[in-house]
Amino acid sequence: MPSSKATPWSRSNRILHVVHHVDYMAPAPTRGSFRFDKYQLVMVALRESGHPITEHAPDPCPREWLEAVHCPDYVEQVFTAQVPYEKERRIGFPVTPHIAQRVAHTNGGTWLAAQLSFEHGYAANSAAGSHHALYDSGAGFCVFNDLAVCANRLIAEGDASRVLVVDCDVHQGDGTAALTAGREDVFTLSLHAEKNFPVRKARSSLDIALPDGTGDADYLDVLVTHLPRVLDEFSPDIVLYQAGVDPHEHDKLGRLALTDEGLERRDRYVVETVRGRGLPIASALGGGYGTDPRVVAGRHARSMIAMARENAKFACARSPGAAESRGHGI
């Protein structure tokens, strides 16, 4: 475990800075099984938790930021609600004008969470983590890839020179890997179930495919083995964390077997390891599925609270735009 830069446990540095927008919700789609009520229920769980939170509303992501990562023709299809049926089938629901507005805000939300993390050390987006979206199509309930969009913009704006994407969703972050392939300034680390979606995996900078039924101890051993090395050798300026809770043993679409305690240990370890190196970290919600959306929302809420509590042990991160010139490995 890295050494802590401890600060007093005050109310101010315990606050969870969470990004949320009313447009994260959307009506139940006319086709497909995906439901959006989880996103409001996450906020209900956070507000009822008793943990201090500050809510931040994002602006919609500028279209040109999306077009810098995605095919402009596809971006046009989304914003005019003219996505071809085959692409909608891959996404898992129809792309309506409301969905277009929603994904503009969820992508803006990850960007805002990253900006807040520079000030507070850690901040969370209460949606997004849309790691399956590809250059000219969405997939797997993902329309635009907020992680790739945010990483690209952080570098373009000079807020960071190198960005690490840590993806602990049960499904491989294939879209993020594909959209950042060949870049030396973005590193993608994906821990996922080997036999889960997508069937055809992309190539991340580092993929760690886990066998079905992997539990708390083995999962944490893998994380402890690889995350510190990647951080030290790649030397990023910020970490974007896809904090999906679908590795949970009772998740409907997962094949791993983490307990509630295992998920908390995972999230606290990621924050401890990143913040112990003086780096900011911003999380996106990621996947989580089940028959009772309140139960799933509770897992997400506990995940964010655990990370906020771990972050409270550390001093604030640097200001954006202050990326240092350093030697890099990997």
Domain CATH number, residue 240: 3.40.800.20
Residue 247 lies in a domain: yes
Residue 325 lies in a domain: no
pLDDT of res. 212: 96
**Average pLDDT of the residues in 66-95:** 97
Residues spanned by the domain of 45: 11-311
pLDDT digits (tens, 9 = 90+) for 150-198: 999 999 999 999 999 999 999 999 999 999 999 999 999 999 998 887 7
Residue 321 lies in a domain: no
Residue 3 lies in a domain: no
Strands 238-242 and 163-167: parallel
User: Which residue's entry shows tokens 């510190």?
Assistant: 228
| Structural domains counted in the chain | 1
- 249's CB contacts (< 8 A; 6+ apart) are 215, 256, 257, 258, 259
- 138's CB contacts (< 8 A; 6+ apart) are 83, 87, 90, 91, 95, 130, 132, 144
pLDDT digits (tens, 9 = 90+) for 267-288: 999 999 999 999 999 999 999 9
Range in 68-72, 166-170, 189-193, 201-205 the model is least confident about = 201-205
pLDDT digits (tens, 9 = 90+) for 208-241: 999 999 999 999 999 999 999 999 999 999 999 9
Residue 4 lies in a domain: no
pLDDT confidence band for 200 (50 / 70 / 90): confident
Which sign, positive or negative, has the C-alpha torsion 138, 143, 145, 149? positive
Residue 119 lies in a domain: yes
For residues 7 and 256, which has the higher predicted lDDT (pLDDT)? 256
pLDDT of res. 36: 76
Cα 258 to chain centroid distance, Å, stands at 18
329 has a pLDDT exceeding 60 = no
Range in 148-162, 200-214, 236-250, 304-318 the model is least confident about = 304-318
pLDDT of res. 5: 33
Residue 71 lies in a domain: yes
0.85 cut: is pTM over it? yes
Q: What six digits make up the tokens of 30?
A: 């006319």
Direct distance between the N- and C-terminal alpha carbons of the chain, in angstroms, rounded to an integer: 21
**Average pLDDT of the residues in 46-59:** 97
**Average pLDDT of the residues in 93-120:** 97
Range in 20-34, 83-97, 206-220, 250-264 the model is least confident about = 20-34
Count, residues in the chain? 330
Backbone angles phi, psi at 251, to 5 degrees: -70, 140
pLDDT confidence band for 320 (50 / 70 / 90): low
pLDDT digits (tens, 9 = 90+) for 2-40: 333 333 334 456 899 999 999 998 777 777 667 778 999
**Average pLDDT of the residues in 292-304:** 97
Taking the C-alpha atoms of 180, 323, 320 and 15 in order, what is their torsion angle to the nearest 10 degrees?
90
325 has a pLDDT exceeding 50 = no
Residue 322 lies in a domain: no
Which sign, positive or negative, has the C-alpha torsion 321, 323, 325, 330? negative
